[in-house]
Amino acid sequence: MKLAYWMYAGPAHIGTSRVASSFRNVHATMHAPLGDDYFNVMRSTSERERDFTPVTASVADRHVLARGSQEKVINNISRKDEEQHPDLIVSTPTCTSSILQEDLQNFVDRASLSSESDVIPADVNYHRVNELQAADRTLEQITRFHLDRARRQSTSDRSVTNRPSANIIGIFTSGFHNQHDCRELKRLPGESGIAVNQVIPEGGSLRYLKDLPRAWFNTVPYREVGLMTATFSEKEYGMPYISITPMGISNTADFITQIGKLVNVWASALSEKRLNYKLYIDNQTKFVSQAAWFSRSIDCQNLAGKEAAIFGDATHAASITKILVKEMGIRVSCSGTYCKHDAERFNEQVRGLCDEVIVTEDHTEVGDTIARIEPSAIFGTQMERHIGKRIDTPCGVTSSPVHIQNFPLGYRPFLGYEGTNQIADLIYNSFNLGMEDHSLDVFGGHDTKEVSTKSLSTDRGDINWTPEAESEPSRIPGFVRGRTKKNTEVFAKRNNIPEITIDVTYAAKEKSSS
């Protein structure tokens, strides 16, 4: 047993549900007790999703413990099939079904006899993989399922597209800035004459999945999800893939150079003219992205040698480390990830860039490390932001897990050339905020405090509060406390009550009709 307060990556079924619900017209069902379909709440709130999340639970109750789920799972699958006619139903294992050792494959086999939709069980071991690994696996599984079938039915079209084209693999729901990154990613090759063949899973339709291999190559922007699909396509269909994350100027340049290489291989085969990307990279770096100029500017000079700590998923933590060190001259004291399964590669990525590497899933270890090295700024997840609050250190959020405020409505990619601008802002603002606070301290804080308190206060002065009553407003959340206090005093005055007791506060609340 493990004592835990917080986890960075969720349980496996969340990953599977995220992938399934990102595709169009795919439904995920899970066999779980009441309350385990919390994913629907998360998707509906943090992503502000307008549509019903296509995930349902067939609720496991005590009868299931006694006699097994019997027809329950199958009936639920058939019911979804009739009600919503999805293209595919993914039966998702949960901790409950794995402890009950239910034979999902058997359920699925029986359910698919009677349903129009395809039904597959997500091949995910609940105890051994986390959310991200499960998502990676499920995406590969769904792709493989459809491509294999297309091949069997010989409906697959294996001719490559006339114009160079690419698939973008791994953009999906509840991902950190995924929607914006996707738009930026489409633009990146698009400007250099490369079409986007398909984006999966987000918004992808299974009906067209068979055309996936028509692209010239695959791009996998995030390491966590999509690599399995890409390696599978490489093995089965000979599709090359690019796994460089185009985050930061140099990574983006590498990414485009890779594209150039892959495209030009075909270009020569098709006896077309070779495309030259060097000029494009040069132009973008100098004029579209402000980041290169920013790192030359005086602002950034002030950041030189400042210390930072970084934590997050493998993709974002590694890329941000590289940006800070190589592009801004900031010293990274510590860089870390919670993607334990990808530790080796992460170490390799940040080697030589930081003083210390931590790979852990324990947020207290991260907190202690940060507290020890006292960086000027932190770049991490929401958890690190709160660690930062506690030790008075500014934090820029650069990786999942995140809150609703990290699903902005405005355009905030992290990838591509626009992404470099966004990241530069984020980094500069984080450091600057810390310096502003620091200089305030140096100059003795807000020296106008006394004067401004008077104009901002709700104190009436001429009315007494008993100590008990005084303690009452302190139980009220801070942001309404002032108003409540004022209302009470107005009420007391109106009723000629000289002293505010606790009963008066209640009576005032009762009477208040603003």
Partner 1 sequence: MKTPEIPTFECETGNYHTFCPISCVAWLYQKIEDSFFLVVGTKTRGYFLQNALGVMIFAEPRYAMAEPEEGDISAQLNDQKELERICLQIRNDRKPSVIIWIGTCTTEIIKMDLEGIAPKLEKQLGIPIVVARANGLDHAFTQGEDTALAAMTHRCPEYNRRTTHQLGEDMARHVAVDVAPSKKFFDERGKSNICNLVLSGSLPSSVASQLNLESRRQSVSVSGWLPSQKYTELPALGEGVYVCGVNPFLSRTATTPMRRRKCQLVGAPFPIGPDGTRAWIEKICSVFNVKPDGLEERENQIWKNLSDYLEVITGKSVFFMGDNLLEISLARFLIRCGMVVYEIGIPYMDRRYQAAELLLLQHTCEKMKKPTPRIVEKPDNYSQVQRMHELQPDLAITGMAHANPLEARDIDTKWSVEFTFAQIHGSANARDAPELVTRPLRRRSDSVSGCRSLSRQTVDV
Residues of the shown chain interacting with partner 1 in the complex, contacts defined by CB under 8 A:
1-7, 10-11, 13-14, 32-38, 40-42, 44-45, 48-53, 56-62, 64-65, 76, 83, 94-96, 99-100, 126-128, 130, 383, 386, 389, 403, 466, 468-469, 472, 475, 501-504, 506-507, 509-513
> Nearest approach, Cβ of 100 to partner 1 (angstroms)?
6
Q: Which is nearer to partner 1, 44 or 257 (CB)?
A: 44
Across-strand partners of 92? Answer: 30
- DSSP classification of residue 93: P
The residues facing 465 across adjacent strands are 500
Closest to partner 1 by CB, 265 vs 502, is 502
Q: How far is the CB of 69 from partner 1 (least distance, A)?
A: 12
CB of 152 to partner 1, least distance (A): 25
- Residue whose CB is less far from partner 1, 257 or 501: 501
Judging by DSSP bridges, how do beta strands 195-201 and 165-171 pair with one another?
Answer: parallel
| Residue 299 known to be catalytic | yes
Looking up tokens 């079924």 gives 13
478 annotated as belonging to a binding site for a ligand = no
Q: DSSP readout, 416-440? A: HHHHHHHHHHHHHHHHHHHHHHHHH
Q: Is 51 or 447 the residue whose CB approaches partner 1 more closely?
A: 51
Tell me the three state secondary structure of residue 200: strand
Specify whether the CB–CB gap between 137 and 129 falls below 8 A: yes
* Rounded distance between C-alpha atoms, residue 298 and residue 277, angstroms: 30
Distance in angstroms (rounded) separating the CA atoms of residues 447 and 117? 69
Smallest gap from Cβ 333 to partner 1, in A, equals 23
- Strands 354-359 and 165-171 come out as unpaired
Report, in Å, the least distance between residue 50 CB and partner 1.
4
Please report where in the chains the tokens 């000029």 appear, as a residue: 279
Other residues' Cβ atoms within 10 Å of the Cβ of residue 484: 18
Give 326 or 509: the residue with its C-beta nearer to partner 1: 509
Please identify which of the residues 61, 103, 157, 299 carries the catalytic annotation.
Answer: 299
Judged by beta carbon, residue 328 or residue 497, the one nearer partner 1 is 497
- Residue 110 to residue 221: CA distance in whole angstroms: 38
Q: Give the nearer residue to partner 1 in terms of CB position, either 53 or 285.
A: 53
Here the contacts of 78-86 (C-beta below 8 Å, separation 24 or greater) are 78/111, 78/114, 78/115, 80/27, 80/29, 80/56, 80/117, 81/111, 81/114, 81/115, 81/116, 81/117, 84/27, 84/54, 85/25, 85/116, 85/117, 86/25, 86/26, 86/27, 86/54, 86/117
Q: How many CA atoms lie within 13 A of 227 on its CB side?
A: 12
Q: Are 22 and 142 in contact (CB under 8 A)?
A: no
- Residue 282 annotated as part of some ligand binding site: no
Sign of CA dihedral 188, 190, 193, 199: positive
Rounded to whole angstroms, the Cα distance separating 353 from 347 reads: 10
| Minimum separation from the CB atom of position 127 to partner 1 (A) | 5
36 is in an annotated binding site: yes
Q: How far is the CB of 77 from partner 1 (least distance, A)?
A: 13
* Nearer of residues 268 and 512 to partner 1, judged by Cβ: 512
Q: What is the 3-class SS of 269-329, one letter each residue?
A: HCCCCCCCCHHHHHHHHHHHCCHHHHHHCHHHHHHCCCEEEEEECHHHHHHHHHHHHHHHC
CB burial of residue 23 (10 Å; 0-12, 13-18, 19+)? buried
Min. distance of Cβ 22 from partner 1 in angstroms?
14
d(CA 413, CA 52): 26
Sort strands 331-337 and 395-397 into parallel, antiparallel or unpaired.
unpaired
List residues forming the annotated binding site for [4Fe-4S] cluster: 36
List residues forming the annotated binding site for substrate: 434-435
Residues marked active site are found at 299
List residues forming the annotated binding site: 36, 434-435
